[in-house]
Amino acid sequence: MDPSSITSLLTAPGSAVLAEACAEFTPGGELRLVEQLRRRYDAAVVTAAVTQASLRHRAVAKFGAADAARMYFTPDGLEQATRTAVGVHRATRIAQTLPGTTVVDLGCGIGGDLISSARAGLRVTGVERDPATAAAARANLAALGLPGEVLVGDAEAQDVTQYEVVFADPARRADGKRVFDHNAYSPPWSFITELLSGTACVKVAPGIPHEAVPDGVEAEWVSDAGEVKEAALWSRKLYAGTTRRATLLPSGATVTSAPEADSGPVGQYIYEPDGAVVRAGLVTAVAAAVDGWLLDPRIAYVTSDDLVPTPLASAYQVVEELPYKEKALRSWVRKEGIGTLEIKKRGVDFDPAVLRKKLSLKGSASATLIVTRIGRDAVAYSCHRVAPTGHSNI
């Protein structure tokens, strides 16, 4: 995307076209809308306006309707932007530790984290090497009435010594594909570890290996509404004295320790830990919270005879244990009249969609099937999901 496609929309005429495009936009109707607007407006401005209208529609899920309606995006910038809830959590942590401090955001993208940080009272500077994305970030601060500046440049070339906190969001895509190996990040991992020798927060993929985290750095895995979004590495003045942390949004529940836990036979309930808890290697915290134990010491399922509300896990009431055999499962589905089947699995390699199709689901009943491995054996449990009723203290 060319920077002019964004700057053209910041003029009075361009803003009018954008407003009309947003008002008339419907998903799937982009071509019709372009044809309609080109009868009265410049073709390049129309294309830019309709593109922004489409991106704003998609951005609602990350930024909420009020902000998305005023912001500017690039396709890649929106894809890679931090969800607002996660950005607010991170900015709040920085602001509570170092109120009003200066923060440089290396690889700021369209400015999602700049927005959260500025709203938290931090003094922000963004650095972005792509001119169009930098233009979007600059426009977003202005559109939302927030202070801050955005510079065009490479993260590795910046003098960060004038800022008290460095935030970095290294690129995790190459040739349009997601990169899972931290050694393939851009800027490179060597640059990231150098940043972490000072006061920094670095956003990384949730699959970051525990052994890759430098000594004296906290790794925090964050989920939002049950979906693991990212991990953040915290160093020096932002280090809170713990190695690993799982934080669950929107509740804000957080856990940092993993006590010893036994393993044993299935109880009346099975607990599925939140993905952030699993990634952080803190599954036994769930066992402690529900007075339970592990089904298998290598598998992230907890079981208990007690139903204990906890934000750390989802609870399922066990109805019966079933053989993990297609014939037996098909017979169970038919007997119970199950037409809707949720399938959960850990430690067993199969495609739930394929199994669901093979079971020929028919009927009005619904159920959850948990398939896991205990020792060398695969087992299945017929369960009912327990609706959350509140949260206990952690």
pTM of the complete model: 0.90
Domain 79-253 class? alpha beta
The DSSP 8-state label assigned to residue 214 in this structure reads: P
Beta carbons within 10 angstroms of residue 190's beta carbon: 9
Q: What are the pLDDT digits (tens) for 94-126?
A: 999 999 999 999 999 999 999 999 999 999 999
In this prediction, residues 280-296 reach a mean pLDDT of 97
Residue ranges per domain, the chain? Answer: 3-70, 79-253, 269-386
Please, which pLDDT band fits residue 177 given cuts at 50, 70 and 90? low
What is the spatial distance between Cα 238 and Cα 296, in angstroms, rounded to a whole number?
A: 36
Residues 6+ positions from 8 with CB-CB distance below 8 Å: 14, 44, 45, 48
Contact 21, 35 (CB under 8 A): no
- At 387 the pLDDT is 82
- For residue 36, which phi and psi values (nearest 5 degrees)? -65, -45
Q: What are the pLDDT digits (tens) for 26-82?
A: 999 999 999 999 999 999 999 999 999 999 999 999 999 999 999 999 999 999 899
What is the spatial distance between Cα 312 and Cα 161, in angstroms, rounded to a whole number?
A: 39
Residues 6+ positions from 96 with CB-CB distance below 8 Å: none
Of 328, 370, 373, residue with least CA distance to 348 = 373
Token pair belonging to 189: 């991992």
State yes or no: cis peptide before 75, omega within 30 of 0: no
Mean pLDDT of the chain: 93
The SS3 of residue 245 is strand
Check pLDDT > 50 for residue 236. yes
What is the spatial distance between Cα 118 and Cα 148, in angstroms, rounded to a whole number?
A: 7
Of 217, 177, 179, 214, residue with least CA distance to 201 = 217
Please, which pLDDT band fits residue 175 given cuts at 50, 70 and 90? low
Contact 164, 98 (CB under 8 A): yes
What is the spatial distance between Cα 392 and Cα 349, in angstroms, rounded to a whole number?
A: 34
Q: What are the pLDDT digits (tens) for 139-163?
A: 999 999 999 999 999 999 999 999 9
Contact 224, 86 (CB under 8 A): yes
Share of the chain above pLDDT 70, in %: 96
In this prediction, residues 278-293 reach a mean pLDDT of 97
